[in-house]
């Protein structure tokens, strides 16, 4: 739990300005100035609220494809959420695969990059920087969590931080 708090602090302190870390620190919303950026932040907020308030698949539909870039921020968040579900399944020994499958099928769109990333996350197949962060969270020091988080934040313009935000929020809500 301590290391999870360290991840949350790292997101607030070191994530890119226009990442989804604004969900954890409202002061970051001031980075979203243009009309599209404000509408984007509102839609993400609505989707995340739905996800964590009992309307999971409705929230996933709100997040799906939301944002710019090779993998939109909403898709990155969903991938982090799926990784978090997989982690919780491993920690608790409870099968959450049907939930992960439902999320994946709801989130799947026309972006082959996002679809591949979401499928890998659903199956718990991680890339190096995410694996390093999870290892640090489970058995590392505060410093190793911060180092792994900052390294993950360098993936894409905001993808690494958006992924970490999804992971952090599902773990924080469930542990």
What is d(CA 67, CA 97) in angstroms, rounded to the nearest whole number?
27
Q: Which of 6, 29, 139 is nearest to 131 (CA)?
A: 139
pTM of the model: 0.97
When divided into structural domains, the chain yields a total of 1
In the prediction, which pLDDT does 11 show? 98
In the prediction, which pLDDT does 69 show? 87
Question: Which tens digits make up the pLDDT trace of 144-167?
Answer: 999 999 999 999 999 999 999 999
Question: Which tens digits make up the pLDDT trace of 75-100?
Answer: 999 999 999 999 999 999 989 999 99
For the chain, helix, strand, coil in percent to 5 are 75, 0, 25
Give the residue numbers spanning the domain of 78.
2-174
């Amino acid at each position: 739990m301590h290391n999870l708090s360290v991840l949350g602090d790292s997101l607030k302190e070191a994530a890119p300005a226009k990442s989804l870390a604004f969900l954890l620190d409202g002061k970051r919303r001031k980075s979203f100035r243009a009309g599209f950026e404000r509408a984007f932040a509102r839609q993400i907020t609505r989707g995340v609220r739905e996800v964590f308030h009992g309307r999971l698949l409705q929230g996933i539909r709100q997040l799906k494809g939301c944002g710019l870039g090779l993998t939109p921020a909403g898709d990155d968040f969903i991938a982090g959420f799926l990784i978090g579900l997989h982690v919780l399944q491993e920690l608790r020994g409870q099968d959450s695969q049907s939930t992960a499958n439902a999320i994946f099928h709801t989130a799947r769109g026309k972006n082959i990059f996002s679809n591949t990333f979401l499928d890998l996350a659903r199956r718990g197949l991680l890339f190096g920087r995410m694996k390093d962060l999870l290892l640090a969270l489970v058995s590392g020091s505060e410093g190793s969590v911060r180092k792994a988080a900052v390294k993950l934040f360098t993936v894409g313009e905001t993808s690494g931080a958006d992924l970490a935000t999804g992971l952090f929020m599902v773990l924080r809500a469930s542990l």
